[in-house]
Amino acid sequence: MNFGWLQINIQYIEITDTTNNLMLTKLLKYSSSSLVVAVKRSVTTNQSNFHLSNQMKLLNDNKQFKKTLELFDKHTKNNTKTYSSYIITQALKACTHLKDLERGKTIHHHLISSRTKDDLYITTLLIHLYMQCNDIASAELLFDTTTKKNVTIYGAMMKGYIKNKQASKAIDLVNQIDKPDEIIINLLFNACAQLGTLEALNLVNKVSNEIPKSFHSNSILLNALLDALMKCGDIKHAESLFDK
């Protein structure tokens, strides 16, 4: 019998296996080198972000807000997707101090619009920026479209409403909070003080009687309560608390 065809097939299989092994080896080497490059890029990016964020924070701490944004602009020309939340935080803080609404909106809509869904801290900073710049509509839109709200976001909205002389809206928000903390109660008293009405006074008395006793040791909260009582016309109650 002629086994020549079998020898040819065996040789073909051996050649094919050798070729496949070589290809697999090359593929593994390529994958390994690609992984190394990716890791190096990631490390380099993280180091660059850390250095940039520290520079921006230092400028903000020294109230050099314009220089903070100049530094931010210089680096965003090349890449914007890799910037950490901390860098964005420093940029937004600078915008808020300068009341640079347009710059803040640019950062919001062109650089980080997708992040606001998951980063409540950045969302809070944006609300604070809009409120400080008297852009209540933008703050409300961002607040309303935020599905997962925490106490800090409510606090930013309340503070913004009070700053913009809309205390009634600040009070309305309290009803949406399950467990208001001392900061929220403090803002509530501030809102009532701004209104100075009988209705506001009744709310102050109601809340002050219901809050946990541990809150009474908070001097800032006590001052806010005294201020609300005085501005709402209940001087005797304020004096009695002051004398305790």
DSSP string, 9-57: HHHHHHHHHHHHHHHHHHHHHHHHHHHHHHHHHHHHHHHHHHHHHHHHH
> What does the pLDDT read at residue 97?
97
> What does the pLDDT read at residue 18?
60
Residue matched to tokens 């600040």 = 170
Residue 74's pLDDT band (boundaries 50, 70, 90)?
Answer: confident
In whole angstroms, give the CA distance from residue 239 to residue 244: 9
pLDDT tens column, 81-135: 567 888 999 999 999 999 999 999 999 988 777 766 678 999 999 999 999 999 9
> What does the pLDDT read at residue 157?
98
Q: Among 176, 174, 223, which residue's Cα sits nearest to residue 203?
A: 174
Residue of 11 and 114 predicted with greater confidence: 114
Q: How many helices (H) and strands (E) does the chain have?
A: 12, 0
Residue 232: both structure tokens together: 């709402």
In whole angstroms, give the CA distance from residue 59 to residue 68: 6
In whole angstroms, give the CA distance from residue 50 to residue 66: 20
pLDDT tens column, 140-154: 999 999 988 999 999
